[in-house]
Each structure stands twice: as structure tokens, then as C-alpha cells.
Amino acid sequence: MTMRRRFTLTQYLIEQRRRFPGASGDFNALLLDVALACKAIARSVAFGELGGVLGNPAGDPDVATTVNVQGEQQKKLDVISNEYFTQMTEWGGHLAGMASEEMDHPYQIPATQQRGKYLLVFDPLDGSSNIDVNVTVGSIFSILRAPQDVIDSGRDVVEADFMQPGTQQLAAGYALYGPTTMFVLSVGNGVAGFTLDPNLGQFMLTHPALKVPEDTQEFAINASNSRFWEAPVKRYVDECLAGKPGTRGKDFNMRWIASMVAEAHRILMRGGVFMYPRDTKDPSKPGRLRLLYEANPIGFIIEQAGGRASTGREPMLTVQPTQLHQRIGLVFGSKNEVERIERYHAEPQRQDEYNPLFTERSLFRD
């Protein structure tokens, strides 16, 4: 029996680097540091209760009890995962600074360490609210080039240095901690998926060219928020639910995992559309997901795989960030479905469409 030869992540990155003969190797080294952090997180996730890492930090003398900048109670694994990312990437001399969902302000590379030319933004443990019930979670990351004056001067980074649209991303990816641990990556040349070989401790290339089908019969949305949806989103979902007898002429399946990494991975593997749109639930928040370290990296991956990512009104990757922890509505997945949702947002609202002012419990009751 002939064994099939598979590339490791390191070999894949070397192959990609050959497209840039003048490259120093710092970029590849940074990605390998990120992959190492993901391996460490995967190990902690795998031990679960046996490792004492589940639940909130309250009562644990080794982990501070905190609420992050999002106003969310941090899980133990949120804190641990954040530390893995910072500790395993700060030492290499490749980074000028970092930003994370779990840190209020940009993370400065210690003065004792060499500083580099890249910025790393990340969500260390996406879907952590599900960790206690053993649902798939993951990590999301994005790499940007630091502004030239940061590179030249070596100064501390500030929020403004991270205010770059998604089109400026040099690489983006995620790790998926499920039945197998996977590392999905784009360096701007398509999307590749790697599976962690537990015998070798290496990410092996198993999905060399992931593609999102242009059409689908599957969508994912949190239906409990339906009363807060804008009319174009409600119209789209209603048409999908109407199935074959409706205007779409085909039946749709609805999914909702409440872990965006898992949702994105399912769509990469078999198509679909994911919606966490802007709604009226909290008018002070123009969306639920964070632009820099959730929407942009996932959007980059999806578009590199032939899909589309959008706010519903404009391409996600063209949005100019204004805040480090800025929230935004996100729709991504199979291209034709996302474009349909964009068309619905662009069209004038029809009179027969849902309008919360005229529902049974409205300001204008008969």
C-alpha cells in the first residue's frame, strides 16, 4: 500500500513564500507561532473538565474574574486562550502589536522583545459560551501590516494603527476545535485547510483548495431575534421558509450553532449563508459581531474561497473601521444568496413587508 504524501503547514507556507523571492520569512514564522498557539488551545479544550478549564474564573485564584470590553463575562478558557496567543507570538520579533476581543486596548510588545512589521488581531476563543456543553469552538485571527512610522520608529501601537479595512489583510484564518482540530488559512491565494495529526503534532494539508458553492439551500440565523429584524432580512427568511411552494421554488434547511467558526466551516465545506444582521434589538449597537477580528477575517476567507461577505448593504471588506471593538452586521456565504440579500436591502420597502410599527403589538393598533 502506497502512503499518500501530505504537506505540513510549514511546507505549504514555504511553497507560498516562493511567490515572493524577496520575502524575509518573518511572515511565515508569525503564522507558525499562531498555529502553535492554536495547538495549545486545542489541547486545553480537549481536556475540558479534566483540565479544570471550564466555567467562569470566579473562585479560581490563578485566573482573575473579569468582564471584557464587550460587557461579557469571560470564561476561564477565554483568558487562557488569550494568554496563549500573546505569549506565543510576542517573542518572535515579527509583531509591532496586537489587539484581541479580550483586551480593552492594544497589546504592546514588551520592551525587552524585538518589534516587527505586522499587527495581529484575534478572537482567541470564538463561541466560548458553548464550551461548557462541549459544542465546537474556535479561534479567529487576522494579520495586517503595521503603518510605516510604527515600523521605522518602533513606537507603541495605538488604536488608529489598526483602523484598516479588510482589503488590507495580508492573511486571515481560524482554528476549529471539534471532533478533529483544523487550521484554515488564506494568505491571499485561495483557502487551504489543515488537520492536526495527533501522532505527529503537525497540521497536515487535507483541503488544498476550499470553495464555497455559489448556490445553496441552507441558511443560518438566530430566529429568536426575528421580531427585531429589518424588513429585507425578514423577507429573505420568509421566502426560504416558504420552501418549494413559495417564490424561491425550493426547500431550505435552517441551521444555528451559535459558534461563528463552526458556521463558517460548514459553509466552506458545503455551502450556505450565515446571517447575523443589524437589527433593532439594541439601537446603540449596529450589529453583534466585531469588525476587526471576527467579520473581516471570516469575510476574507469566504471571499478567497469564492463566496461573498457583506453588511447586507455594502461589501464587508471595504468598511473603514473607526473603533478597535467596533460591531457590525454580517452576512456571508454562497455568492448568489448574499447578493440576493443585498438586493433586498437596496430595493424600496414594499408595503406588504413586515413593519414593526404595524404589528399586532404596535404603536398603531386598530
Residue 111: per-residue pLDDT:
86
The pTM score is 0.90
Residue 349: per-residue pLDDT:
73
Residue 366: per-residue pLDDT:
42
Class of domain 218-358: alpha beta
Residue 233: per-residue pLDDT:
97
Q: Where are the domains of the chain?
A: 9-207, 218-358
The candidate with the shortest Cα–Cα distance to 221, out of 250, 248, 252, 255, is 255
Residue 357: per-residue pLDDT:
40
The candidate with the shortest Cα–Cα distance to 204, out of 195, 213, 192, is 195
Parallel, antiparallel or unpaired: strands 192-197 and 181-186: antiparallel
- The CATH code of domain 9-207 reads 3.30.540.10
Mean pLDDT in each 10-residue stretch from start to end of the chain (366 residues)?
A: 78 91 89 98 91 71 56 82 97 97 96 94 92 90 97 96 98 96 97 97 96 97 95 97 96 94 96 95 90 98 98 97 97 98 90 48 45
Instruction: Measure the CA–CA gap between 326 and 106, rounded to whole angstroms.
Output: 14
Task: Please state the three-class secondary structure of the chain as a single string.
Answer: CCCCCCCEHHHHHHHHHCCCCCCCCHHHHHHHHHHHHHHHHHHHHHHHHHHCCCCCCCCCCCCCCCECCCCCECCHHHHHHHHHHHHHHCCCCCEEEEEECCCCCCEECCCCCCCCCEEEEEEEEECHHHHHHCCCEEEEEEEEECCHHHHHHCCCCCHHHHCCCHHHCCEEEEEEECCCEEEEEECCCCCEEEEEECCCCEEEEEECCCCCCCCCCEEECCHHHHHHECHHHHHHHHHHHHCCCCCCCCCCEEECCCCHHHHHHHHHHHCCEEEECCECCCCCCCCCEEHHHHHHHHHHHHHHCCCEEECCCCEHHHCCCCCCCCEECEEEECHHHHHHHHHHHHCCCCCCCCCHHHCCCCCCCC
